[in-house]
Structure 1
Amino acid sequence: MFDSSFFLLLRRLGLMLCIYMVLRLLFYLFNYSAFAEAGFTETVLAFIHGIRFDVAAILAFNSLFILLSVSPVGNILHQRYQQVLKWVFILCNAPFLALALVDIEFFKFIGRRSSNEVFTIADDVVEQLGQLISYYWYVLIGFVLLLFALLKVYPAAPAIPSPQPRQWLRYLRLLIIAGITVFGVRGGLQLKPLRPNHAFVLEPAALGHLTLNSPFTFIKGIGKTQLEQKHYFNSDAALLAALQFDPQQYANPDKPRKNDNVVIIILESFAAEYVGALNNGRGYTPFLDSLATEGLLFENAFANGRKSIEALPSILAGVPSLMEEPFITSPYQSNELYGLGTLLQQAGYNTAMFHGAANGSMGFNNFATRAGLQAYYGLDEYPDELRKSDFDGQWGIFDAPYLQYVAKQLSEFQKPFMATLFTLSSHQPYTIPAKYKDRFPKGELEIHESIGYADHALREFFRTAAKQAWYKNTLFIITADHTQKSIDPAYQNEPGHYRVPLLLFHPTDSFASISAAKIAQHVDIPATVVNYLNIPTDKLLPFGHSLLDSTRNGQAIFYNGNAYTLVQPDAVTELNMRDEVRFYTLKELGTAASPAPAAEQMLKAQVQYFRNSMVENRLYFWKK
């Protein structure tokens, strides 16, 4: 029964297991800073634990190959049959080997292994394939070399095969191997099949990403349509009490209204690490630093996600990224939602979004509509006569000309207006116009020069805007979509991966009474705008609170694929997928001496609210 064909199958699958381990080693070396806190023993254990996930992925993707390799019919060791089998093997594995190689670099951007989110950026990847290849040419070469090596070392069938077993033994062998395959794919005999969160059993938790492999997380993401509900609190009233949230807080219609304009500027990849005003003058943003002296720059501000596609729901609708899939592409994207644009429209505002990339990129245009933004200005709307000269050759329009275009467009808007502007020049490959080459500090990371250029474009935008009639009556909110590559150890920790600038500025108003030390986050922005303008509403979500509320010290929540984290001034609370809680402090980044039960209740309340309300489409369950 276990003849040469069986042992040949084991050798071929063993080859894939070795390749997966080599890819894990490359993943570790290319992303060493993410695992630098781990000791040698823990790192080795992560590699060993990863074998379980490798076996599951290899057996899943090679099911057809395995079936054909132990077929009970015909001469499976025939030369022609073996040639067909070889190409089945290559075709079954090549796409996922490519994914694993790509994820070695992509992990730097999203902070976790890729899942089915690759489908959400497929159109952008196809459109930008040429420049991606030119930039990450070594990944393509690595893939070609890997395929070549796979073809060369693929175990060949013996020249003189041993006699095949009797027919009934071949059928029995097929049944046994099928059972072993199913057992391996589900990861063992445990109650529930192997899942990504099973990888996070070592400390630091980042080792879970090393244990996993990208093909496994990808296949586990396919068809994942529903969040698992939580029941930490047994009633809506108890949940709201734990959230310390009053839906009617801003529902008073008698407060005097302001009709100031609102401009939200989202800077691509402006990590807090790059901002001089947040790092004792060490940075690449001289204009943003100068603006911070006139406005309110929060010292501890956080994004609620790690990707651009996760930023818009947080900033424009108060929806943090607390699930594997971005809200924009999730099964819950059609849930009832009241975006900031919708609330301001109801108050008589004209609303719009500007993004100089191709229309449809990351689904921004569709979500802008969902968030109540009446007009969308993308690459298609940019003047034809300027498009060729101002195009960056990669993604869209260079920041400097595009921000000038936005300033002029805003001058034509009927007041009051609310506009969102998303920049792009500080996006990989960090292209800047030739005339600006060597004008800005190159720094230590390739992104630094483009940060300097984008900051210059922001300076020129404000210089033009200051001459417009609408400027003096406008609230500006400036933040970044997410962080980027890091060289500062102070930011190479879980909270640090989410730290972005967040600045409030008004040419004729002051925020001096608000502490810059309070915790701020993206989902605070809708409540802050509503509070500043005194717009009555009961359609704000409980994740964020107005940054102008001096009675609150602020908080921030995010999800890294394995655990939820709540950042508060006195404690950082982490809740993993096994409902285990740990506490540490933001400054020490070490285990807290004592637990923080109030923080634990708050975090569990936010997790339950998010999960259950998404599944049940009850984000505003108090609304009549």
Structure 2
Amino acid sequence: MKKEIRKQEILVLLYRIFLAYFFYQIARLLFWYFNKDLIKVDSVSEYIKLAYHGIAFDTTAILYVNALFILLSLLPLVINTKKGFQKVLFWIYFITNGVAYGMNFGDFIYYKFSQARLTSAVFQVAEHESNVSQTLMISIGQHPFVFIWYVILMALWVFLYKKIKIEERKPVQLIPYFIFSILTLCITTVLVVGGIRGDFKHSTRPINMVDATRFVANPLQGNVVLNSTFSFFRTLNTNNFKEVHFVDEKYIDENVQPYKVYDRKVENRPNIVIFIVESFGREYSGAFNKEKNIKDYVSYTPFMDSLAGQSLIFPNAFANGRQSIHGMSSVLAGIPSLTDAFTGSPYSNQKIQSIVSVCNDLGYDTSFYHGAPNGSMGFLGFGNILGFKHYFGKTEYNHDEDFDGMWAIWDEPFLQYFAKNVGKKQPFMTTVFTASSHHPFKIPEKYNDKFKKGKIEMHEPIQYTDYAIKKYFETAKKEPWFHNTIFVFTGDHTNQIYYPEYEKAMNRFAVPLIFYSPNPDYQLKGVNPEMAQQTDIYPTLADLIGYNKPIRSWGRSLVSDKDYSSIIVNSDGSTEQFMIGNYIYRFDGKDIVGVYDKADLGLEKNLIKELKTPEVEKGKQTAKAWYQDYMNRVINRKLN
């Protein structure tokens, strides 16, 4: 057999792999188009630069997916050019590439909610849900053009694949055929390994999601450089929980202050009711936007706005995670989620000090309410870890006629059940996680004409949830436990965005934070402009109920005179973000890669090369010290 016979196969193989590159670039363009309101690209040349740098990430993804196809195309099997064998290759190629390519189209829609490219964390969500297929079908129905684009492009891909075929030939000289094939396989293996790693240098680690931000002016543009296939495969079986050492323990004790002590004396301990409101972004609530100077601003939470006027509120509060389960660990246990979520890690099943354990120590009756099927979102399992004495879900509610058909019991009836079911024993500490303000953005049919549609899909269901909370208070006010109760309201994470102010990178984590009590003794009134976060809720409540023992918390009490440092923490899925003093720091697990002025919530101007002041240098050190302490406590099970 002449070398030219294999040369034909190699050239066709290169053409078929090139097609994958071509269609990945189309998917990249469509991803940006569907999310251009969230990811700003100022010019064609800037987009071309992002697309060019994306080739390295496309290479890794394409080679991951096509490794078997490439191997079978080059193996010296003698029958490689036969029609039957080529048909097998065709199906392997399009089944694997079709599935992988579809991942990118899913992100056209869900990037708006997740604010990050698809990762293997999707398994952590899916394993607790029974309606994944139903959710998928509804999403396709609501966004048909995404599916249509996918079908059209896959059809075009098949057409172009079939345009160039391999001519059937039988090898005559087998020894040259095998020698040439083995050499080709060896060279290809080296190229594939280098392509998957993103570099041929042995000393360089394989590229990961963090590397996408090396080439961008704004960290959010890293999501254009990436593709969803890459981010999914790169996060499979990953564990970014690794001990590090940047500073000594004395520095951590003095600057991170992982243990806090509050000495408030409380005789008649208050009840605690925590509302974690699904997808309650700060953008939706007028009480938190009075000083934001947003043109033509409209509030969609009239009741929460009125309640905020009687409460202590924090209009500059942030979530510590991107998913519902992240909100639960942040709010109740003061544990934020970084690049890898704590709740999905091998370390989540350990003894954890939290507002639940603190209340249990003080003799409180503790309970958790969520109207979804028991176990949904992982809440039941994590609730058991935290030590809730009671769990009330869809099973305990036991009225399936109030089920929304997708996620959970509608908020209004479930919150009525919640109001009437608590308080049988006092003092009590309870948490309710609402559900209705969520995709697919539906409300009960009887309210179809009650609320204004707003500018985005989220505006109508958040009004419904606000109304459900109003009705809850009408019922709760009649209960004997109401007067001596502290209520806390926050969102688990943000959702759809309408106003440009909330398109900014840090404002993707902007949630409301409200402390309310009808009892004036707790002095929960006013507007506090300080930076706050979900992890501050646990120490604040521990302080308010008079828990005087040391608490392990990376947050701080927001009502104490004690001067504990404020370190706001969250992650965009590839880097950790710290707000310390006057600056925002971005950390990639090894070093600080960005420094921004605190007012630059869009992370538009990286000052890391310009700023070398003592404050900035200490801020860098403190961010790394915080990360060191977090890893040490999580890995070595020191969260109690």
* TM-score with structure 1 setting the length: 0.93
* Whole-angstrom distance in 2 between the partners of 1:246 and 1:111: 29
Contact in 1 for aligned 2:57/2:226 (Cα 8 Å): yes
2:99 aligned to 86, 91, 95, which one? 95
How far is 1:581 from its partner?
A: 3.7
SS in 2 for 1:180: helix
Secondary structure of 1:525's aligned partner: helix
Which amino acid in structure 2 is aligned with residue 599 of structure 1?
Answer: G
The one of 273, 284, 288 equivalent to 1:263 is 273
SS of 2:252's partner is helix
User: What are the within-5 Å matches in structure 2 for residues 451-530 of structure 1?
Assistant: 451-509=462-520, 510-511=522-523, 516-530=528-542
| Counterparts of 2:519 and 2:384, CA distance in 1 | 31
Q: 1:546 to 1:32 in 2, by over 3 A?
A: same
Query: Which one-letter code corresponds to 1:600 in the other structure?
Result: K
Shift of 1:124: 5.5
* SS at structure 2 position matched to 1:476: strand
Tell me: CA distance 1:88–1:464, structure 2 relative to 1, closer, same or farther (3 Å): same
The separation in 2 between residues aligned to 1:96 and 1:529, in whole angstroms, is 46
Query: How far apart, CA to CA, are the structure 2 residues paired with 1:224 and 1:167?
Result: 38
- Structure 1 residues 117, 269: closer, same or farther in 2, change over 3 A? same
**AA at the equivalent of 1:229:** E
Q: Give the C-alpha shift of residue 232 in structure 1.
A: 1.8
CA distance in 2 between counterparts of 1:159 and 1:587 reads: 56
- Secondary structure of 1:35's aligned partner: coil
Structure-to-structure mapping, 1:152-171, within 5 angstroms: 152-155=159-162, 158=165, 160-161=167-168, 164=171, 166-171=177-182
Q: Write the letter of the residue equivalent to 2:239.
A: T
Q: After superposition, where does 1:134-283 map in structure 2 within 5 Å?
A: 134-137=138-141, 138=144, 139-155=146-162, 158=165, 160-161=167-168, 164=171, 166-190=177-201, 191-201=204-214, 202-233=216-247, 235-243=248-256, 245=257, 247=259, 249-250=261-262, 255-280=265-290, 282-283=298-299
Partner of 2:619: 599
Question: Which residue in the other structure is 1:572 paired with?
Answer: 584
**Whole-Å separation in 1 of the counterparts to 2:491 and 2:258:** 28
Distance change (3 Å), C-alpha of 1:558 and 1:39: farther
User: In structure 2, do the counterparts of structure 1 residues 544 and 258 end up closer, same or farther at CA, with 3 Å as the change threshold?
Assistant: farther
CA contact (8 A) 1:12 1:155 kept: no
What secondary structure is seen at the aligned counterpart in 2 of 1:154? helix
Q: Which residue of 1 aligns with 2:559?
A: 548
CA distance in structure 2 between the aligned counterparts of 1:502 and 1:323, rounded to whole angstroms: 24
Deviates more, 1:344-353 or 1:507-516: 507-516
Return the offset for 1:405.
Answer: 0.5
Structure 1 counterpart of 2:364, which letter?
Y
Q: Return 5+ residue gaps in structure 1 as ranges.
A: none
Deviations 1:518-574 (A, max 9, x none): 111100111011100111332322x20001124558452111123322235633333
Q: Give me the whole-angstrom Cα distance separating, in 1, the residues matched to 2:16 and 2:260.
A: 64
1:294 aligns with 2:301: no
Contact 1:38-1:204 at 8 Å conserved across structures: no
Instruction: Out of 217-226 and 304-313, give the one that drifted further.
Output: 217-226
Structure 1 CA distance for aligned equivalents of residues 601 and 108 of structure 2? 30
Structure 1 letter corresponding to 2:284: Y
Aligned match of 2:72: 68
Contact 1:353/1:419 (<8 A) preserved: yes
* SS state at 1:3 partner: helix
| Alignment match of 2:413 (pick from 401, 421, 445) | 401
Contact 1:351 1:373 in 2 (8 A): yes
Describe the SS at the equivalent of 2:76. coil
1:573 and 1:584 in contact (8 A); partners too: no
CA drift at 1:380:
1.1
Q: 1:12 aligns with which of 16, 19, 42?
A: 16
Structure-1 separation of matches of 2:601 and 2:481: 45
- Written as runs of structure 1 = structure 2, the 5 A alignment for 1:36-51 is 36=40, 38-51=42-55
In 2 relative to 1, CA 37–518 (structure 1 residues): closer, same or farther, beyond 3 Å?
farther
CA distance 1:210–1:125, shift in 2 (3 Å)? farther
How far residue 161 of structure 1 moved from its aligned partner, in angstroms, is 4.2
Pairwise CA distance, 1:170: 1.4
The 3-state SS of whatever aligns with 2:272 is strand
One of 332, 335, 339 as aligned partner of 1:316: 332
Give the secondary-structure state (helix, strand or coil) at the position aligned to 1:62.
helix
1:511, CA displacement in angstroms? 3.1
Alpha carbon RMSD of aligned pairs, Å?
Answer: 2.2
Answer whether contact 2:332 2:354 (CA < 8 A) is retained: yes
How far is 1:91 from its partner? 2.0
- What residue number does 2:551 align with? 539
- Partner of 1:419, secondary structure, is strand
* Candidates 5, 18, 26, aligned match of 1:22: 26
SS at 1:567's partner residue?
Answer: strand
The answer to whether the Cα contact below 8 Å between 1:43 and 1:207 also exists between their aligned partners in 2 is: no
Q: 1:298·1:502 contact (CA, 8 Å) conserved in 2?
A: yes
SS in 1 for 2:587: strand
Aligned partner of residue 472 in structure 1, secondary structure: coil
Q: Which amino acid aligns with 1:460?
A: K
The Cα shift of 1:40 comes to 4.2
Contact 2:567/2:579 (<8 A) preserved:
yes
**In the aligned structure 2, how far is the partner of 1:584 from the partner of 1:3?**
57
2:551 aligned counterpart, secondary structure: coil
Question: What CA distance in whole angstroms lies between the structure 2 residues aligned with 1:551 and 1:359?
Answer: 40
Match in the other structure for 1:392: 404
The amino acid that maps onto 1:238 is: Y
- From 416, 423, 433, give the equivalent of 1:422: 433
Please say if residues 519 and 568 of structure 1, whose CA atoms lie closer than 8 Å, have aligned partners that are also in contact.
no
Q: 2-side partners of 1:246 and 1:218: how far apart?
A: 33
Measure the CA separation in 1 of the matches of 2:231 and 2:7: 34
User: 1:350–1:417: 8 Å Cα contact kept in structure 2?
Assistant: yes
- Contact between 1:27 and 1:104, CA under 8 Å: does it hold in 2? yes
- In 1: Cα distance, 2:510 partner to 2:390 partner: 30
**Which deviates further from its counterpart, 289-298 or 92-101?**
92-101
SS at match of 1:263: strand
Q: Is the 8 A contact 1:477 1:502 kept in 2?
A: yes
Report the equivalent of 2:633: 613
- The alignment's TM-score, normalised by the length of structure 2, stands at 0.91
Q: 2: CA distance between counterparts of 1:206 and 1:223?
A: 25
The yes-or-no answer on 1:369 pairing with 2:369 is no
* Residues 331, 566 of structure 1: alpha-carbon distance in 2 compared, 3 angstrom cutoff: same
Residue identity matched to 2:231: T
1:344 matched to 2:359: yes
Pair 1:236–1:116, CA change in 2 (3 A): same
Q: Distance in 1 between matches of 2:357 and 2:311?
A: 27
State the SS of the aligned residue for 1:33.
coil
The letter of the residue matching 2:330 is: S
Cα deviations across residues 562-616 of structure 1 (Å, max 9, x unaligned)? 3322235633333345432412122675646855334333322212211232233
- Indicate the SS of the match to 2:549: coil
Whether the aligned pair in 1 keeps the contact of 2:240 and 2:339 (CA below 8 Å) is no
How far off is 1:514 after superposition?
Answer: 6.6
Q: Does 1:129 align with 2:133?
A: yes
Q: CA deviation at 1:65?
A: 0.6
SS of residue matched to 2:22: helix
Taking a change above 3 Å as real, the CA distance of residues 257 and 38 of structure 1, as seen in their structure-2 partners, is farther
Q: Is the 8 A contact 2:126 2:132 kept in 1?
A: no
Which letter does structure 2 place at the counterpart of 1:215? T
